[in-house]
Structure 1
Amino acid sequence: MTNYTLEEKDSFTVLGIGTELKSHYTDYAGIIKEKSDFWTAVKQDGRLDSLKALATNDYIFVVNEAVNNKMMHYAGVMTEQTLPEADRVIQFPKGEYLVVKGEAKNAEELSNMLTGIAFGQVLPEAKDFAYVGGPNASVEMGERNGVLFGEMWIPVVRK
């Protein structure tokens, strides 16, 4: 099994700008294209920069959350502030989180890789903990030697 840790985290808030993913949840190519198109748009139109200006740290959150039976995808930052163009204040609960670390050459590759490892390898093989819903996020934490590094944070409960 790939390297992962379980970490206790305090509750935190992410301010997000989002989109509804319309592809079927098993249509990975469709979902990846929708996410890619969304990120291209929020970078080009300045919404991501507006969020980053309010951030309490340098982390960029790529959040997935089911809201009212819709698959939602958000670009977000940790902040207590708000923006008119923001779609949602996302509350992450205090508790135990599955944390998968990784690095990649760009943000899209990092998010897709961390999501694939967490949901495709770690969670299906986990015997003593489970994901039972709620927001989850891949977190871009910084860059070193030209490589982006980050983590996937998924709230879990003990079985």
Structure 2
Amino acid sequence: MADYNLEEKDSFTVLGIGTELQSDYTDYAGINKEKADFWQAINQNGGIDLLKAVATNDYIFVVNEAVNNKMMHYAGVMTEESIPEASRLIQFPKGEYLVVKGEGNSAEELSNTLTGTAFGEVLQEVNNVAYVGGPNAAVVMGQQNGLLYGEMWIPVVRK
């Protein structure tokens, strides 16, 4: 069983630079390639450094959100500031969150592992809550023993 718990969180905002995912939502290989290409680009073009420069903490958010019937994917940080390169302020609601912990060799691997575990395992096994939409995020929190560690934050409601 995956390492998870349910936590109350205050509302928070993430400033993100994003891309629209064009692959069908069932095309996991296509989606993962688009996400990998996005992360390679944002690391090469300095976008991630621009976000880190205005962040209030060291967390990097890997956000997925449906906006106007489009699948959006963002790199983001918590901040009160804005930058011209940012494409969205992403509002996360106050409430209960499913929090899944994990680790990986890279931010991309960590995000993919957390997403797969959270949506493919934990949400299937937890009977008292449900994900009803809204933004969700893999949060890269730090590094230890050569691996990145973090959490998946998914807003949920009680059934």
Instruction: Give the TM-score, by structure 2 length.
Output: 0.98
Q: Is the 8 A contact 2:96 2:155 kept in 1?
A: yes
Q: Secondary structure at the match of 2:110?
A: helix
Shift of 1:106: 1.0
Q: How does 1:115-154 map to 2 (within 5 A)?
A: 115-154=115-154
Deviations 1:29-52 (Å, cap 9, x if unpaired)? 000000000000000000110000
Structure 1 stretches of 5 or more lacking a match?
none
Q: Is the 8 A contact 2:20 2:72 kept in 1?
A: yes
- Looking at structure 1, the residues matched to 83 and 2 of structure 2 have their Cα atoms a distance apart, in angstroms, of 38
Structure 2 letter corresponding to 1:65: E
Shift of 1:3: 2.2
Structure 2 stretches of 5 or more lacking a match?
none
Moved over 3 A (4+): none
- Looking at structure 2, the residues matched to 8 and 82 of structure 1 have their Cα atoms a distance apart, in angstroms, of 27
Q: CA RMSD in A?
A: 0.6
Deviations 1:87-110 (Å, cap 9, x if unpaired)? 000010110000000011111110
Q: How does 1:14-33 map to 2 (within 5 A)?
A: 14-33=14-33
Q: How does 1:45-56 map to 2 (within 5 A)?
A: 45-56=45-56
Q: Secondary structure at the match of 1:53?
A: helix
Percent sequence identity is 77
Q: How does 1:65-144 map to 2 (within 5 A)?
A: 65-144=65-144
Q: Secondary structure at the match of 2:54?
A: coil
- Looking at structure 2, the residues matched to 2 and 111 of structure 1 have their Cα atoms a distance apart, in angstroms, of 15
Equivalent position of 2:2 in the other structure: 2
Equivalent position of 2:34 in the other structure: 34
Paired residues in the alignment total 159
Structure 1 letter corresponding to 2:101: K
- Looking at structure 2, the residues matched to 155 and 142 of structure 1 have their Cα atoms a distance apart, in angstroms, of 22
Q: Secondary structure at the match of 2:124?
A: helix
Q: Is the 8 A contact 2:64 2:74 kept in 1?
A: yes
